[in-house]
Chain A
């Protein structure tokens, strides 16, 4: 009992220390910075103000936020449409290549997503791989302008974030009791009805979890819009980066960060409430 308890305690303490040092403290610093003033000579002036938040009530910032939500939503939807069938197949297949397929989903994590985004640039650019192939095949006569567009940003985001959609969906679909599908078919439901009435409601937790894991990072991955969207696409992530790096306005950058964090927190709370309600309804709590 004793060594077991010591191990348990020390690992919990280690996690606490780690999270305090590298998550709680930095966030508190950002929160404090967002309440300070921009200095002329120093980075921040130690004077409390809510001005930074007031400044954000401005059409330009609203547009950036709205545009970010729009792009993140499209990206989430595309990930869901691509990821769901794949996750379903992966969870249901009895192929001996199942482990390899799952492995393929995880492999991209081994490379920095920045480098992978450069790879997409190499594929999509005017004299890139895709255009060369299409030209050689004679399918097009002029190279397509794919790079530096909204489409390229979506492609990059989807490519980077797809595993975050597939993995929770896979975990959820694999748990789905196949006998329920048999029961529904036995009772006269065709494929469409089985999917809508049985499979979809029962995999909803996976859909929500995957969507959040895609939606939230999609709003803040600044280097993908930078690399693939050119200067045209400005997302919340880019805004924060600009305020910190170019405009040197740390308080405003911090305020945007805090709002983004609050937005994500709000979504987490909503998700938690929904899943708690569902569990209560099912009598599991």
Chain B
């Protein structure tokens, strides 16, 4: 697959404030790429650089093999679905969707046919004569999508398009957007601060933080093998143990966690005396009541502080003897149907060996 978009050493600053540092990114044709990060991390600026509303202070942006420096937004073959939808309030749904086609001076017949097709795609064929204000949030969202895709852009940019919808509608739209992307085969660049959304929809996720790209990878890679602590903390919940490596060879390393010695796999060539963070996801923690276990050699004693029932799972806030707090997520399954925990209860905690992630300490 060829690259539809390439960013080479792109940087951006507004007056004296640097918002993007040295961004290098290649997006393949037909890919669903998500820029994920907290607000202010520069993800929206990347979109605005691609759509032409901002110009990079440094570096090159290539769209479809051409350097787009100096090309204004209306001449770029990309379209945006804006966060606030930005539908034109004085035009009905049909005219909103037709706007881009009218700019291209297409014939009335072709415009009507393509708008009808786009509205059918977003299931709004009966709403052509409504004004945007007469539509619900979800319907407005669909119009915004139809208005962009009707132009058959090379790349569709989506700036937190689902953030103002309620939870259930957001879930539905996530699935619909993904289907739409498969159907159209257009490259989607999707911006969100919702990590769940990013993981469930994307082919690849770019995790951004303070104007830099921390990690690029498949959803599975960024979740299971975060490259540093800020990625690990941003994507999903994590229990983090700070420790030092006592001994290490090519295959294993030895660390002390909560006064217990652990021998773990040395996947990243750590050396003795290095400060590291051992990261365990809440769902990888196992919680046992005292009568269930006999060998507590590799387990931590803990007290249940809080039980949060979430329907399909139960989240437990645990306090270790050292005072450290852990979060453990327990699933209901055939082994453990009851999951009956009460606050103040004493339990044993461990994790499935090998499921931990060891990260170096960032200076």
Contacts and interface: CB of A to CB of B under 8 A. Distances in A.
B103 A188 contact: yes
Contacts of A281: 131
A171 B262 CA distance: 68
Nearest to B104: A188
Given A180-B86, A201-B90, A185 B79 contact: no
Interface in A171-228: 177, 179-180, 182-190, 193, 197-198, 201-202
Contacts of A190: 74, 103
Interface residues of B, number: 25
B90 A202 contact: yes
A71 B38 CA distance: 59
Contact of A282 (B80, B84, B89): B89
Contact of A187 (B53, B89, B100): B100
A183 B103 CA distance: 13
A283 B134 contact: yes
A198 B96 CA distance: 11
B89 A179 contact: no
Interface of A: 177, 179-180, 182-190, 193, 197-198, 201-202, 278, 281-284
Residue picked from B74, B134, B151, most chain A C-beta under 10 Å: B74
A201 B90 CA distance: 7
A184 B75 CA distance: 12
Interface string B69-101: 000111100011010101111100000000110
A92 to B, nearest CB: 15
Given A198-B88, A202-B90, A283-B134, A186 B99 contact: no
Given A180-B86, A182-B82, A187 B131 contact: no
B303 interface: no
Residue among B100, B147, B148 with the most chain A CB within 10 A? B100
Nearest to A183: B86
A186 B51 contact: yes
A85 to B, nearest CB: 21
A187 B133 contact: no
Which 5 residue pairs spanning A and B have beta carbons closest together?
A188-B103, A187-B100, A183-B86, A283-B134, A179-B86
A187 B82 contact: no
A249 B143 CA distance: 65
Interface string B97-136: 0011001100000000000000000000000000101100
Given A179-B82, A183-B86, A188-B74, A283 B133 contact: yes
A197 B98 CA distance: 12
A281 B82 CA distance: 24
B133 A284 contact: yes
